[in-house]
A and B are shown apart, each in its own frame.
Chain A
Amino acid sequence: MSIGYERRDIDLEFLYYFGDVFSPVSFGLLLLGTIGGLLLGATPGLSPTMAVALLIPFTFHLQPVQGLILLGAAYTSTVAGGAVSAILLKIPGAPANIATTLDGHTMAKQGKGARALQLSFLASAVGGVIGVLLLIFLTPVLSQWALAFGPSHLFWLAILGVTVIGSLDSASVVKGLLSGCIGLWLATIGFDDIMGAQRFIFHPALGGGINIIAALIGLFAIPQVLTMFAKGRTSSAAEVIEVEKHSIKDAIRELVRRPRALTIGTVTGSFIGLIPGVGGQIAGLVAYDQTKKFSPEREKFGKGHSEGVIAAEAANNAMVGPSLVPLLTLSIPGSPTAAVLLGGLLIHGIFPGTDLFDNHPDVAWTFINSMLIGQVLMCIFGLYVAGLAARIAQVPQSVMAAVVLGLAVFGSYSVQSSMGDVYVMVTLGVIMYFLERFGFSAAPLVLGLILGPIAEANFIQGSMIAGATDGLGAYFLTGTLNIVLIAVVIASILYSVWMELRTRRYISKEEIMG
């Protein structure tokens, strides 16, 4: 393995360029990117990738540094902004925010929406700042780690994600696994990306497969809309949620009291976020699951427990910095958003890699600094928004249902300007509404939808390489990293089984006693 990129010893070069961020134009763009990013991120359907892609044409007319400040700030704050719709509307803005809905929305329903938002922005800022610091100081080490994951390792990582499915937000492991299987099946629809084989395409609109953002919106938003309409019909009085007042000081105190969630979230997010092609999508969910497994109060998860929100949001913002490591050092975009950022750099004639840090240090460091300061600005504006947004809980259900439906249609259409995605969104949503009545939940289904293609593509690639070299068994089962990952997979499965048995014994004992 060769890496042309070699940085000087750990340096504080970034401090030298700190002032550049505060020039009037740069700071103005930073503010614009942050506030705009929060709003875009809070809009369902506008994922961070899309938000950054939408902003690129504007950077045509800016200096390279200024353009990058705008893009960096927008990337940072759209990821955090996705928490707003995840908490208040239970619509994850992007796959990164799925885990936030689990406890965040439950908190909002209990009138603690403001607290959930405050915690999510604080946790995002802490995770985000640490992530960017890792990018600044540990880039050479991290880029080695990012390259260490080949097809076999990515396959096992996806399988690890699948083992999380069973224990995620579901009363029963069996139902969780069943939902996951439905998700895995949905993921096979469309032209297969590697071989071009056609699978389950009953209509041309399905040729591209189920769009993940449209599916997210449908699976989470539509069941809610239907529930709200159903309630509106049966109860004449609108359900009024008491909105509690929450001071920011209390929120900070609560965050400090939960160091475990914050630490697990940040560490998991940073390291998983680094792995090209997988990280960003599952960092939040894996962090949530790990925090739950290590928490003595694990039975509170999913019922509006603040640790769930903290872990998920710390993780998805911690991922932002490290996810750019492969891009900035090796010119390999590790995530869809990084790929879009690469386009934004190239258009100004800047090639990421050694060239970037050697010949354009001002561009590189100002960009990184802007993400650091962007995290802080994002937190300040986010906390302000939290105060206002929590009042959303007081909006009558019938109005709310209409608004969410409108946003869901708009969001799924805007992903690729296609009505096909809207029909897919509605269909999946209506099916999910009935599945929820039988105790199935959306999160494991979506996880299956995300992990299916990752596991499949890496298995196919791995088996092709194995076929030409030392055989399937040797390729997937030997090597330190493979063995470690397999061990973690087994541990995760055994843990789920053990927990399920213990819960059953506990329940049956209670039944006998009762």
Chain B
Amino acid sequence: MKNLLTAATLALTTLAGGAALAEDYPERPVMMMVSYGAGGATDFQARIVTMTAGNEDALGMPVAIINKPGAGGRVGWNWFATQADADGYTLAAYNVPHFIAQSIKGGVEYSTDSFEPIANWGADPAVFVVAADSPMNSMDDVVTFAKDNPGKLTFSGAGLFVGHHIAALQLEKAAGVKMAYIPTKGGGAAAMKAVIAGDVMGGVNNLSDAFRAQEAGNVKILGVFDLERNDFLPDVPTLKEQGYDIDNASVNFRGIMVPKGTPPEVIETLAATVPEMFNNDRVAKKMAAGGSPMHIMDREEVQAMWAAREETLKALLAGL
């Protein structure tokens, strides 16, 4: 009798294997890899949006953040694509357009096909800044100067093949001008320092950082590289409003993904709970306090966004 019961249980367990796995998931704490250093914007936001993961209405298990920084995120994402276990216990933060642009440029072991998106938590658009005492007051001033002095307008941004660089390329293309993009090492902070100190004439930077620098009276923000104006900067027009055909391809989207091959039931569970987890008052309050714009998207929306981004970037980066 006992044996029979055991056999029956075993059979049932095997039959219901997938379902049981999804039902029990997660049984232990989950790890999330961030491919930028501790304390950076991505790390800082990743910690905030996962701080309620242990709640019963979220995952019911805490999320531990592991940092694997290096080479603009390539080190962490390479690791995630080739070595992370696809069992739902290893998540990662993605930064779009960064990882997609890097995979188009080559030399890395991942592409959009290596990962499965779960949900998006934030969107930080790029903006164009100049020093507070700059004679330029609009994007037209910038473009006029660039037209009169081809290749002489220096402007900074955080490296090549990141959101800032994409915005720079879009601006050059849309305005039909040649400018001197100066990539800095050390992220947006170093690029902002170059603008404030007068090392360069302008720069592309994160909206959140530029907003603070403008509040402090150090810079002027001349335009937002997004489809709509931002709540933080209701008075700053988008590039499109100023007559330049530029979309939101440079907006830095941040969210959670898992490696390809993760069981579909686990992906379903995550896709159902994670957007809810982001949609939490405490999370929203902390994100707003840090000046980090939130933008929650579900799995299907992110899949569409990734596909659209890949197409735009391929066209933009062709021949570079």
Contacts and interface: CB of A to CB of B under 8 A. Distances in A.
A468 B71 contact: no
B189 A339 contact: yes
Name the residue among A52, A198, A461 with the largest chain B CB count within 10 angstroms. Answer: A461
Nearest to B74: A191
Interface stretch (A169-177, A180-188, A342-350): A342-350
A3 interface: yes
A301 interface: no
Interface in A189-220: 190-191, 193-196, 198, 204, 207-209
A331 B160 contact: no
Nearest to A327: B189
B152 A209 contact: no
A495 interface: no
Interface string B180-196: 10111110011011101
Contacts of B291: 346, 351
A330 interface: yes
A336 B48 contact: no
Given A191-B72, A464-B180, A147 B193 contact: yes
A427 interface: no
B197 A340 contact: no
Interface string A37-81: 000000000000110111011001000000000000000000000
Given A3-B218, A207-B75, A339-B39, A277 B186 contact: yes
Contact of B217 (A4, A53, A196, A468): A4
Interface in B167-225: 180, 182-186, 189-190, 192-194, 196-200, 209, 212-213, 215-218
A465 B190 CA distance: 15
A225 to B, nearest CB: 27
A206 to B, nearest CB: 9
B320 to A, nearest CB: 11
A342 to B, nearest CB: 7
B232 to A, nearest CB: 12
A208 B39 contact: no
A60 B51 contact: yes
Interface in B153-171: 153-154, 159-161
Contacts of B161: 196
A355 interface: yes
B212 A353 contact: yes
A332 B44 contact: no
B114 interface: no
Nearest to A190: B71
B69 A208 contact: yes
Given A2-B133, A4-B217, A194 B160 contact: yes
A277 B193 CA distance: 11
Contacts of B44: 56, 343, 346-347
B180 A343 contact: no
Given A331-B216, A465-B154, A2 B289 contact: no
B75 to A, nearest CB: 4
Contacts of A2: 131-133, 196, 217-218
Given A332-B193, A332-B196, 20 more contacts: A50-B38, A52-B39, A149-B197, A194-B184, A196-B71, A196-B102, A204-B79, A208-B71, A277-B186, A331-B209, A331-B216, A339-B189, A343-B44, A346-B44, A346-B290, A347-B286, A349-B290, A416-B68, A465-B199, A469-B152
6 contacts: A5-B217, A57-B47, A207-B74, A276-B190, A342-B189, A354-B215
Which 6 pairs from chain A and chain B are nearest by CB?
A208-B70, A4-B217, A340-B39, A349-B289, A191-B71, A353-B216
Interface of A: 1-5, 49-50, 52-54, 56-57, 60, 147-151, 190-191, 193-196, 198, 204, 207-209, 276-277, 326, 330-333, 336, 339-344, 346-349, 351-355, 416-418, 453, 457, 461, 464-465, 467-469
